């Protein structure tokens, strides 16, 4: 059974490579998943034994398996699913993901999703530490502590940390806004592969554009938001969700058009409004001084 699991996980990695290739992602990224799949098929021991003995470091030590793919193998070993693959083929279900956390039942998952806009375990972890989760009715201290502990294990964070990673390692808002611009321009021009999301799409229409791009060594995947909240507010084509490489795994943010205040009409990164305001102020000062507007980073081929 152990060796069969190696083959099964290798097949999922091959599927990631195929989808990335079909969607026009960087060919080196797709090749990395194929190389890791080959390594797993040639492995002389069950990969679950290797992980049990040496943890994530043991997976990263395998030929052709870097930190990103090691985390993907760990997800498949522990939970039997790979959220990245589900998302890329249009089968992402944030409610199912949230209810996989002990202490989060279906009713709470819907509240987290619809009221707080939470779609990922990373966003749930942030809410568990910034007070939003504690403010929900019925969320006692014991339940909150259990959710925090479960997420710390699931996301391979150090137990006892005071909260999610500091924003110092996050991409600059200029970079995020530039990826958002690239995505919206390419989607409007019809240059992107369309996928058929499973949620809110009974006819399985392929309508959701997906972009794979890079900024330096960081990979991005961009899609319009297909959440219940975005649909309720009529913002499906406005909200753009960016998935990217973070120090502790894949992270995400949402870029929207601000509707109120001094940033009204501007594209902003939700949760980083102050940084966006500073970014636009710097651009305004450059224009006033007669220089070119503050541009976002140049795109990488």
Distance CA 47, CA 4 (A): 10
Distance CA 248, CA 68 (A): 9
Domain locations in the chain as residue ranges: 2-80, 94-154, 169-288
Q: Say what the pLDDT of residue 301 is.
A: 38
Q: Say what the pLDDT of residue 49 is.
A: 92
Give me the mean pLDDT over the 55-68 stretch.
90
| pLDDT at position 166 over 80 | no
pLDDT, the chain, mean: 82
| pLDDT at position 161 over 60 | no
Per the CB < 8 A criterion, the answer to whether 268 and 182 are in contact is no
Q: Say what the pLDDT of residue 92 is.
A: 59
* CATH code linked to domain 2-80: 1.10.150.110
Q: Whole-prediction pTM value?
A: 0.64
Question: pLDDT digits over 120-145, tens only?
Answer: 777 788 788 888 888 888 888 889 88
Most distant CA pair in the chain: distance in Å? 68
| pLDDT at position 226 over 90 | no
Give the list of residues 6+ apart from residue 121 with CB closer than 8 angstroms, or none.
Answer: 97, 98, 101, 151, 154, 155
Q: Say what the pLDDT of residue 246 is.
A: 64
Strand order through the sheet with 193-195? 193-195, 208-215, 218-224, 240-246, 249-257, 267-269
**Tokens 């090691």 found at:** 70
Question: pLDDT digits over 65-99, tens only?
Answer: 988 899 889 888 887 777 777 777 765 567 777 88
The second-level CATH assignment, the architecture, of 94-154 is Orthogonal Bundle (1.10)
CATH topology agreement for domains 2-80 and 94-154: yes
Question: pLDDT digits over 181-190, tens only?
Answer: 999 999 999 9
């Amino acid at each position: 059974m152990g060796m069969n699991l190696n083959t099964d996980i290798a097949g999922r990695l091959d599927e990631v490579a195929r989808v990335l290739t079909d969607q026009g992602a960087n060919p080196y990224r797709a090749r990395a998943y194929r190389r890791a799949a080959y390594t797993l098929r040639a492995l002389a021991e069950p990969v679950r034994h290797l992980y049990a003995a040496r943890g994530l470091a043991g997976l990263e030590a395998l030929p052709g398996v870097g930190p990103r793919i090691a985390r993907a193998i760990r997800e498949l070993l522990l939970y039997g699913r790979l959220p990245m693959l589900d998302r890329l083929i249009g089968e992402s279900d944030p409610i199912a993901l949230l209810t996989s956390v002990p202490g989060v039942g279906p009713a709470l998952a819907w509240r987290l999703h619809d009221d707080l806009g939470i779609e990922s375990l990373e966003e749930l972890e942030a809410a568990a530490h910034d007070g939003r989760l504690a403010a929900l009715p019925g969320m006692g201290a014991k339940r909150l502590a259990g959710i925090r502990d479960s997420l710390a294990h699931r996301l391979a964070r150090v137990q006892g940390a005071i909260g999610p990673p500091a924003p110092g390692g996050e991409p600059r808002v200029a970079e995020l806004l530039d990826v958002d611009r690239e995505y919206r321009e390419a989607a409007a021009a019809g240059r992107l592969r369309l996928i058929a999301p499973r949620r809110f799409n009974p006819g399985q229409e392929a309508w959701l554009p997906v972009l794979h791009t890079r900024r330096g060594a960081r990979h991005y995947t961009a899609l319009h938001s297909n959440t219940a909240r975005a649909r309720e507010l009529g913002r499906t084509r406005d909200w753009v969700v960016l998935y990217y490489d973070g120090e502790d795994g894949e992270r995400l943010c949402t870029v929207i058009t601000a509707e109120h205040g001094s940033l009204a009409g501007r594209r902003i990164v939700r949760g980083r409004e102050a940084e966006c305001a500073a970014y636009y102020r710097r651009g305004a000062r450059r224009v006033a001084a007669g220089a070119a507007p503050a541009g976002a980073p140049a795109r990488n081929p």
